[in-house]
């Protein structure tokens, strides 16, 4: 059987890796981050809710936001937590310090 062109092989590999990442990323989110943050990342809508995700009533005294705003906040927390973790890992000493 003739060998496929190198570009075709690389494109197939990229598509396979992308599909695998797309399927595994949501599962990893639930293991790494809090379940509330992971579930709120996909919230959309104009309904008013409280910061904890409960629906707001007209006579509610607590601050409210739209469901989409709550979803955007969850995404921002997710991205920030990944950035902070990467920064902490990057700055960690590679060798134990011998100086007390």
Reading the block at residue 1, the tokens are 């059987």
Reading the block at residue 96, the tokens are 């134990």
* Phi, psi for residue 49 in degrees, rounded to 5: -135, 165
Give the pLDDT of residue 78.
Answer: 78
Residue 67 CA to residue 48 CA, distance in Å, equals 6
- pTM beyond cutoff 0.75: no
pLDDT tens digits for range 35-89: 677 778 878 899 999 988 889 998 889 999 999 999 999 888 877 876 665 555 5
Helix (H), strand (E) at residue 57: none
pLDDT tens digits for range 7-46: 999 999 999 999 998 888 777 776 777 667 777 887 889 9
Domain limits of the chain? 30-89
Reading the block at residue 49, the tokens are 């809710």
């Amino acid at each position: 059987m003739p060998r496929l062109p190198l570009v075709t092989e690389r494109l197939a590999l990229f598509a396979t890796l992308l599909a695998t990442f797309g399927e595994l990323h949501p599962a990893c989110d639930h293991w790494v981050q809090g379940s509330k943050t992971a579930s709120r990342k996909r919230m959309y809508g104009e309904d008013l809710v409280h910061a904890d995700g409960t629906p707001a009533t007209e006579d509610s005294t607590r601050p409210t936001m739209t469901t989409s705003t709550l979803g955007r906040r969850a995404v921002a927390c997710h991205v920030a937590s990944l950035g902070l973790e990467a920064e902490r890992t990057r700055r960690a000493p590679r060798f134990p310090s011998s100086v007390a």
